[in-house]
Amino acid sequence: MMLLDTSHGGGFGALLGDAGLGGASGLSGGDDTAGLGFPLAQEEDDPVDGGISMDFSLGDLGSLDSLTGLFDSFRMTTFSALSNMKKAMASVGLDLIETPGMDLDAGLLAQFSTVFIIAPTDEYNSTDIEILRDFTKGGGTLVILGDNDDNANISALNPLLLEYGYFLQGSYSEENTTDIVTSSRLGAGLQSVWLGGGTYVMNNQSNAQMRLNGNSVGILDQTDPELAIFGSSRIFMNKNLVKCNNSMLLDNLNQFLLRNTLTTETSLSENTTLYSIDRSVYLNLQVSDVNGNPVDDLFVAIVYELPDGNLSFFIAGFVDDGLYSSQFGARTWEEEGRIHGIFIILGTEDYAMTYASISFDMFVPPIEPGPGEPFAWLTMSQLALVTSVGIFGSLIVGLFQNRRRMKKRLRIPEIDTELGREIDTTLNALLAAFTQLEELIKREDLDQIQKIEALRILMQSIEEGRKMFDRVSDQVGGI
């Protein structure tokens, strides 16, 4: 998933310039909304009249959920300026998500592979910059669309860009450019790009994908960290996407963003989705890169959502040759109902975090009728005596014979004091880590993002426990 950051203004709404829900439109946040206004990303030459009705009060919104619902209901009208860009991205598996009203947060960014920043109006402070720097150090990508001071706030972006060795400067009014670096990743196959005016991207011209008047107007820095910077915020608007080769430019950008995405496929080991509660269910997860090649060494966690709504039975492991398997144990759930398995593939510097899911149903098998009265001519006590003599007599004879054989064949490793302490330490470390995992899953005061962040720390403890176990296992050897 990719995030469109609107915490500093801009975003879809920035594409309108001065048009918005405040000012001339007569709709701005009042006392109940702390002066919050919501600009429209309407096309520049679209008439304001004849659109959606704005007869509502933002003071009536009681929660973020209601605010998100409002934006979702208006998305095709107020945010239509970039709807074709979003559709083109979605068609290749890239989802661009917007979180109105939410500030930048490390826990939030951990769920995304890319952050889009479009013509922000408010400056990025040191905390914001540190959060984004940590995001890109962890393998995240930034895509920044700036503009000249007539359409954006250059001073708002430059503190962030300078951290990566770039800055925006100057202004141009040319409509398009034919100075394309066709050997570059974004410039491949392009002859011209519509710009509609904008600003220059300064410094490190070797990463230029498009130039105008000798300066970069679009760069792609594929060193670590990776980022793309454009000097015009309007190149991917619906009405401009069809101009020159802008749609091909978007296709090239999408292919670049797909490089660290994963494809997942889930399945059950048996050709059924209905299981008895007294049987284990085996689940498989296949993970491949964008080229269809299996990947290795990715950490996978799975959470089972039970029919009563609780999350439980957290199991973790690593992908081996593109495959990860898990088990839902017999009688883990002892009633009828549907179980949802949610795989979480944690991100690395090479791949973004992703999710997969699978569902199956449990049923209670019918109770088999018990056997009839055995040997009516014997009482229950007599039958018990005969049975016990037969069973335990055979068992004693078998144990005696087996003991004689095992004395010759069995090798019992000697455990010295130091090895015993290492075994105890290893078992206690693993027990503590998995106990913390169980407690973390059951905590109701943490949301899912907070649980994932806490999980990252616990995974280090589990990995250390696994290494300790490997060392002890090598010393103990086999029997």
**What does the alpha-carbon distance between residue 130 and residue 109 come to, in Å, rounded to a whole number?**
12
Note whether residue 402 is domain-resident. no
Residue 379 covered by a domain? no
201 and 325 fall within a common domain = no
Judge if 158 and 268 occupy the same domain: no
> Which one of 213, 233, 260 terminates a domain?
260
Tell me the pLDDT of the chain (479 aa) as tens digits: 899 998 887 654 444 443 333 333 333 333 333 333 333 333 444 443 433 343 434 344 444 444 444 444 443 333 468 889 999 999 998 888 887 778 888 888 888 889 999 988 888 999 999 999 999 988 899 999 999 988 888 888 999 999 999 999 999 999 999 999 999 999 999 999 999 999 999 988 889 999 999 999 999 999 888 999 999 999 999 999 999 999 999 999 999 999 888 889 999 999 999 999 999 999 999 999 888 899 988 888 888 889 998 887 666 788 888 998 888 888 889 999 999 998 988 878 788 778 889 999 999 998 876 665 554 555 555 555 555 555 545 555 555 565 555 554 444 455 567 776 777 676 766 666 677 766 767 677 767 666 676 676 667 667 776 677 777 677 766 44
The answer to the question of residue 383 being in a domain is: no
428-476: pLDDT as tens digits = 666 666 777 667 676 777 676 666 766 766 676 677 766 777 776 777 6
Find, among 2, 36, 40, the residue nearest to 237 by Cα.
Answer: 40
Q: Is residue 120 part of a domain?
A: yes
Domain termination residue (choose one: 231, 260, 289): 260
If asked whether residues 83 and 170 sit together in one domain, one would say: yes
Q: Does one domain contain both 312 and 459?
A: no
Does residue 297 form part of some domain? yes
Q: Which helix (H) or strand (E) holds 145?
A: strand 141-145
Boundary-marking domain end, from 363, 395, 425: 363
Are 40 and 98 within one domain? yes
Q: Is 382 inside a domain boundary?
A: no
Does the residue 94 lie in any domain? yes
Collect all residues with Cβ–Cβ distance below 8 Å to 245 and sequence separation of at least 6.
Answer: 189, 190, 191, 192, 193
Domain assignment present for 312: yes
Range of the domain at 431: 417-476
Contacts of residue 217, defined as CB under 8 A and 6 or more positions apart, other chains included, come to 172, 177, 195, 198, 200, 201, 210, 211, 230, 231, 232
Q: Within this chain, do residues 287 and 185 fall inside the same structural domain, yes or no?
A: no
Residues 125, 244 within the same domain: yes
Number of domains the chain contains: 3
Q: Verify that 266 and 279 share a domain, yes or no.
A: yes
Same domain, 310 and 326: yes
* Residue pLDDT, tens place only, 324-348: 888 888 888 999 999 999 898 887 8
Check whether residue 253 and residue 287 sit in a common domain. no
Tokens 């593939």 sit on residue: 345
Instruction: Give the CA dihedral 205, 210, 215, 218, nearest 10 degrees.
Output: -80
d(Cα 435, Cα 457) in Å, to the nearest integer?
Answer: 14
Please tell me the distance from the alpha carbon of residue 66 to that of residue 238, in angstroms, as a whole number: 28
Do 277 and 178 fall within a single domain? no
If asked whether residues 173 and 273 sit together in one domain, one would say: no
The CATH code of the domain that includes 291 is 2.60.40.1930
